[in-house]
Structure 1
């Protein structure tokens, strides 16, 4: 709009100048008395047109100045508004910066917490592995103990017989691999020397065991699963009795 007014002002001013310079603007054909009595000269048509164009140029100049001032004020207002907007933007950027710093601190704390949790998980995994190894060792020992308990002797016979004959056949038989545990008891107070002199023997099938101690243990031999008679030889016929127990060991 301002550039249009300036162009119009240029044309109007130029036209007024051309009209004023193209000829005489004062009317000289009037009477001398009227000219003498008149304070202002009388303009002809060319002069009036020139004056009108000059007034129009003045009006356009004033309007252009007003519009230019309004434009400058608008620019100033725009600059002020831009400054306020920039201030608000700077304030928002400051808030965003604070928020980002807060988020960064929160992320840093989260990363530290994750690192601590990871280290704790590693320690927990190591402890679990150690506990698992310990548990496996305990299970292995438990299984070994269980197997050993399963192999503990199982009592098959627990009895007593008097040695009142030179040869006594016990009422029980014994299988190969069983254990025959005995104890010689006498009211006369036998000693190991008395047993050595008395030549007491225990026969388990074809297996012969000479008794030299008051207590003893014999593992029955022979073919696997074979059962044999149990004979006690007491040629001196010592006044004694034999207490015995037959055990079976699980394979």
Structure 2
């Protein structure tokens, strides 16, 4: 029996890094019965909040974020003291460069997949050649919480928990734009933060508290 996967109540629009239009259209859809359908059978349009300059800033911050991670390649996190020191340094450097959102935080390095463990030591494996940024941006409009997110694909290699072989994963670096126009990384490899897609699904299913969820997200993150 085929499983029907429930799609998110968000819809995406692909943006090339060299996009000519600063105000592209983002189509808004809703989810019904496991399929993505247009509300009332018609497209709803939402203006993009990310300009061409915003996307350039986002790409620069993504590159700086990867460089920051690679600075910690080979660092020992075997002891709690070393692990806490690395975690603190990562956070301080990311915030000093204004790379990550105030509600984002680095995961405990010891519990990430970037660790090579031996009996004598545990070291972070964060070489530059293990990260590859994509070129195409994707803007997501989350209709039910009324916020936007910009995504940039990233491929990265981690240590396998079950074998000696490395594993290549695909994910996104996710950006938001604050009400004062600043671009920040909300989520990325090694980061924990608010899951906007999950919040949007919560708001979709909880129509009674939808406005409250929307207000909570906007106030917590101060984003557009």
Counting strand residues as a fraction of each chain, which structure ranks higher? 2
TM-score normalized by the length of structure 1: 0.18
What is the TM-score of this pair, normalised by structure 2? 0.19
